A and B are shown apart, each in its own frame.
Chain A
Amino acid sequence: MTDLAEHVSEEAHGDHHDDDHGHHSSLGLSNMKLAMWLFLGSECLLFGALISSYLILKTRFLTELLAGNPDVIAGIDNPELVQEFIAEGSVEPLWDIPFTSLSSFILLMSSLCMVLAHKATEEGDYKNQRIWLATTAILGSTFIGGQIYEFTTFFAEGLTFDGSIFGSAFYTLTGFHGVHVTGGIIMLVSLLFLSLRGKLQADRSETVELVGLYWHFVDVVWVLIFTIVYLIP
């Protein structure tokens, strides 16, 4: 029997293994990809809730602060910062926009590296695949390093997690995002190890694409957080 006939026989008996792509759903997507989109859909609701909560709690915090509520004032462990908040009528004095802009740029750059890693995988260019995967992971780690630095600075300036509803909402929102980026870095490093062991060939490019979908989602969420939390007063 020829190879072709063997292939047909396997197909007829359902023995064809296409582990990476999975079977196609009625939407024309592989099941794995559809599952990732459903997961990302649920993540949209999670981050939607966190962003909404942040906006509501920040508004309430500022209203109480401007009304002179002593409990809210005592929640910020820095009288100078409280005065700046009151003078500006917003939490803007806390932000370091140039630094956060640089972090945003780094995360955008990592998204570019991710699509280039996927493209290199599709083309069977494994050297570039590893370079781009490693670069994406390094850029993601740099972003996380920046977030740790930012949290440390804010904490030193008097914004604690349990001191005010604004602090709780801010650290929860950006912290959850940071945890997602960290999860993405772990996935990227896993892909890099798979590639080094020769187990991430062109026929498994969908694996890279799925991790890419997650990574770009994390980037998209930061696009929203950067504008809504940092740039809009």
Chain B
Amino acid sequence: MTDATIEHAEDMHDDHGHNDHAHDDHGAHPTEKQYWVVFVILAILTAVEVAWSYLGLHGAALVVPLIVMMVVKFFLVAGVFMHLYFDTKILHGRVFWWTFAAATTLALLVYFIVFASFDQVF
């Protein structure tokens, strides 16, 4: 095999290098320590949620903080444990997020329409 052929072969190998490792379709994943930190935050949030529900609060003072903590927990699990935050760095971000936003908007619209159809609720 000539030097030129070997060089060409190495170039091709580099081009296809992204298939050689499972991680190359996403950014660097968190370290083990970061996973533990996220878990501790999740555990603390859960404890605060439960404690909050025992404070005897009513209405928005009870519900809004619970919803906020729930959303934070949701994004921590989806973003870090499910690698969504890290994967999207090379996911042609704009396309992915527009698709995500469009699907979420559609789902919310469907639910609002369903809710609105229940006279007993609204």
Interface SS majority for chain B: helix
**Proximity bits, B27-67, A CB within 8 Å = 1, else 0:** 00100100110010011001101101110000000110011
Chain A: interface size category: 35 or more
Instruction: Provide the A42-76 mask, 1 if CB < 8 A to any CB of B, else 0.
Output: 00110010001000100110010000000000000
> Is there contact, CB below 8 Å, between A116 and B35?
yes
Partner among B18, B22, B78 whose Cβ is within 8 Å of the Cβ of A220: B78
A105 on interface, CB distance cutoff 8 Å: yes
Nearest-CB distance from B16 to chain A (Å)? 5
Q: For the complex, is A84 an interface residue (Cβ under 8 Å from B)? A: no
Interface pair A115/B70, CB less than 8 Å apart? no
The proximity string for A residues 69-109 relative to B, scoring 1 for CB distances below 8 Å and 0 otherwise, is: 00000000000000000000000000001100100110011
User: B107 touching A223 by the CB < 8 A rule?
Assistant: no
Residues on B with beta carbons closer than 8 Å to the beta carbon of A224: 70, 74
The count of residues in chain B whose C-beta lies closer than 8 Å to any C-beta of chain A is: 56
A27 to B90, CA, bound (A): 9
| Cβ–Cβ contact B35 & A112, under 8 A | yes
Contact assessment for A2 and B121 in the assembled complex, using a CB-CB cutoff below 8 Å: no
B25 lies within 8 A of A60 (CB):
no
| Chain B residues packing against A (C-beta within 8 Å) | 1, 5-6, 9-10, 12-13, 16, 18-19, 21-23, 25-26, 29, 32, 35-36, 39, 42-43, 46-47, 49-50, 52-54, 62-63, 66-67, 69-70, 73-74, 77-78, 81-83, 87, 90-92, 95-96, 103, 107, 111, 114-115, 118, 120-121
The 7 closest A-B pairs by CB, nearest first: A227-B70, A112-B39, A231-B53, A205-B22, A8-B9, A206-B22, A216-B81
